[in-house]
Amino acid sequence: MILYQLRCGNNHEFEAWFRDSASYDLQVVGGDVGCPYCSDTNVGKAVMAPNIATGRSKENAAQEPGSEGRAREVAEQILEAVGTLREQVEENCDDVGDQFATEARRIHYGEADERGIYGEATDDEAAELDDEGIEFFKLPTRPRRND
């Protein structure tokens, strides 16, 4: 696992874990990495401090707090929370598919009953909704398992 400090096109900085640098490259090129603050997928590596070895053996380091085992545990908790969030939305909201932007506008402008919806929107549609002051939240994609 590798931890990168990332920055989106709106200069928000955040950290993200990747299996390796090739996984990072594939996910960023595929638009699968989004800023947790604004959902921008125009993401790149930010400057980060190097991890300097202290001379401890890998065995000793693996037993210390903050080791890869702890990182894996935290990652699993995050994946579980994302899955729970998605399940709650799917159980309690209407799936409007690729008509999300249209239906969100109709609700915002009082042309449709107010209710929770979810679906898909392009980056351009999301930017237009944001420009119009229509509040929405980009749900994380379903976690991918590397089993």
Is the pTM value of this prediction over 0.75? Answer: no
Q: In whole angstroms, what is the distance from residue 34 CA to residue 4 CA?
A: 13
Helix ranges (H only) for the chain are 21-29, 58-63, 68-92, 100-108, 123-131
- Residues in the chain, overall count: 147
Segment 98-134, tens digit of pLDDT: 999 999 999 999 999 999 999 999 989 999 999 999 9
Q: Do 33 and 8 meet the contact criterion of CB atoms below 8 Å apart?
A: no
Nearest by Cα to 4 from 53, 50, 54, 61: 50
Segment 5-38, tens digit of pLDDT: 899 999 998 888 888 888 888 998 988 999 998 8
Instruction: Determine the number of helices (DSSP H) and then strands (DSSP E) in the chain.
Output: 5, 5
Q: Which residues neighbour 23 within 8 Å (Cβ) at sequence distance 6 or greater?
A: none
